């Protein structure tokens, strides 16, 4: 099977084109087995601005045509409807549509075995919705495209690893929909994922919902009725899982080596500590898909799009991690 990784452009009006070029022309990834799924004209426009290292763009019609070498970027062209009309830093329907099409095409390649994994540059949810693609983000879009039912978002750095029960959902709705089955499912996904990346006996901590993990029902009973029983059920299946743990301490405990991963209850509970420790090199992974998907763990940064200011570390690490995981 191929070891090639597909990298999707994300929203072309954001920093995606810039950080992809930087990742594939600077450092260890220059010449890596990567194909970019995106608008070739947009990549040329960014290169012409002189804000990245120079690169040779090779437009290919199939993965099999890719040829790899220093500063060579192989591009499977997904053209914008009006490439010259694209405005950097502006929400546009054609940009949201391109981001969707790139993910769809890369998914088709991965499902067909033509690429081993995909790494995604950030998309803009408003632009995605403006184009008529009503998904909360990459995770839900990929789950739909692959018909995956049990999946979860993982944030991954050397300093901290977090998996989420829920992500893009209002807090009020999260409390109304939290259930034991979902908690058990995510603990299982965490265990499988950690074993896949090299942890023989993963140590998993599950954060509580409420302050002090509810303090025996004083600040809420979700830990007593939902989280605690789910943890005990997975322990009975032989998993090394602890919880519910007080959310204000468990992330630091994981960072210091007590655990290998924390199960976070909702988006910001997991994202805030992770981004504090690894804002520039954090990687977003969708666990539970038929293939590995990694992503730069930041947004489209419209305020600095196409200016040369974007940092490419997270994009670089996401591609490297996709390569590492799929070769183990």
Q: What is the CATH number of the domain that holds 138?
A: 3.40.718.10
Verify that 109 and 86 share a domain, yes or no: yes
Verify that 298 and 259 share a domain, yes or no: no
Asked whether residue 1 carries a pLDDT value surpassing 60, the answer given is no
Verify that 138 and 80 share a domain, yes or no: yes
What is the per-residue pLDDT across 224-259, written as a single tens digit (0 to 9) for each?
999 999 999 999 999 999 999 999 999 999 999 999
The residue among 271, 302, 273 whose CA lies nearest residue 91 is 302
170-192: average pLDDT: 96
Structural domain total, the chain: 2
Verify that 225 and 296 share a domain, yes or no: no
Range of the domain at 38: 1-148+290-328
Query: Does the N-terminal peptide bond of residue 181 adopt cis geometry, omega within 30 degrees of 0?
Result: no
Verify that 283 and 294 share a domain, yes or no: no
Verify that 164 and 233 share a domain, yes or no: yes
- Give the pLDDT of residue 198: 87
Could you tell me where the DSSP H helices lie in 147-179? 171-177
Verify that 238 and 212 share a domain, yes or no: yes
pLDDT band at residue 328 under the 50/70/90 scheme: low
What is the per-residue pLDDT across 108-118, written as a single tens digit (0 to 9) for each?
999 999 999 99
Verify that 5 and 52 share a domain, yes or no: yes
Provide the β-strand partners of residue 60.
Answer: 76
Residue 54 structure tokens: 């120079």
Mean pLDDT score of the chain: 94
Verify that 172 and 301 share a domain, yes or no: no
Inter-CA distances, 5 with 49, 119, 220, 317, Å:
27, 7, 45, 13
Non-local (6+) Cβ contacts of 91 within 8 A are 13, 124, 126, 127, 130, 302
Calpha distance 193→283 (Å, rounded): 14
Model-level pTM?
A: 0.84
Non-local (6+) Cβ contacts of 50 within 8 A are none
What is the per-residue pLDDT across 56-104, written as a single tens digit (0 to 9) for each?
999 999 999 999 999 999 999 999 999 999 999 999 999 999 999 999 9
Verify that 31 and 83 share a domain, yes or no: yes
Verify that 26 and 132 share a domain, yes or no: yes
Verify that 173 and 207 share a domain, yes or no: yes
């Amino acid at each position: 099977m191929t070891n090639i990784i597909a990298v999707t452009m994300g929203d072309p009006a954001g920093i995606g084109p810039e950080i992809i070029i930087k990742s594939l022309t600077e450092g260890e990834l220059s010449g890596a087995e990567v194909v970019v799924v995106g608008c070739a004209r947009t990549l040329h426009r960014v290169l012409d601005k002189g804000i990245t290292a120079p690169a040779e763009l090779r437009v290919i019609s199939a993965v099999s045509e890719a040829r790899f070498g220093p500063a060579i970027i192989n591009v499977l062209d997904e053209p914008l409807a009006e490439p010259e009309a694209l405005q950097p830093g502006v929400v546009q329907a054609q940009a949201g549509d391109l981001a969707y099409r790139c993910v769809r095409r890369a998914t088709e390649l991965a499902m067909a075995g033509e690429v081993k994994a995909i790494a995604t540059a950030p998309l803009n949810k408003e632009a995605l919705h403006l184009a008529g693609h009503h998904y909360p983000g990459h995770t839900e879009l990929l789950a739909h495209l692959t018909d995956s039912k049990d999946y979860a978002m993982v944030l991954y750095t050397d300093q901290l690893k977090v998996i989420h029960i829920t992500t893009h959902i209002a807090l009020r709705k999260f409390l109304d929909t939290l259930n034991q089955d979902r908690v058990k499912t995510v603990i299982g996904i965490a265990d499988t994922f950690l074993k896949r990346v090299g942890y023989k006996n993963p140590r998993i901590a599950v954060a509580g919902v409420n302050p002090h993990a509810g303090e025996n029902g004083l600040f809420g009973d979700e830990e007593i009725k939902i989280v605690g029983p789910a943890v005990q059920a997975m322990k009975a299946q032989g998993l090394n899982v602890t919880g519910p743990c007080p959310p204000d301490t468990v992330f630091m405990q994981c960072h210091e080596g007590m655990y290998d991963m924390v199960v976070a209850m909702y988006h910001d509970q997991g994202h805030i500590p992770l981004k504090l420790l690894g804002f520039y090199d954090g990687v977003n992974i969708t666990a539970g898909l038929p293939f590995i998907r990694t992503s730069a763990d930041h947004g489209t940064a419209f305020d600095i799009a196409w200016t040369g200011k974007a940092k490419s570390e997270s994009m670089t690490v996401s591609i490297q991690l996709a390569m590492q995981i799929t070769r183990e």
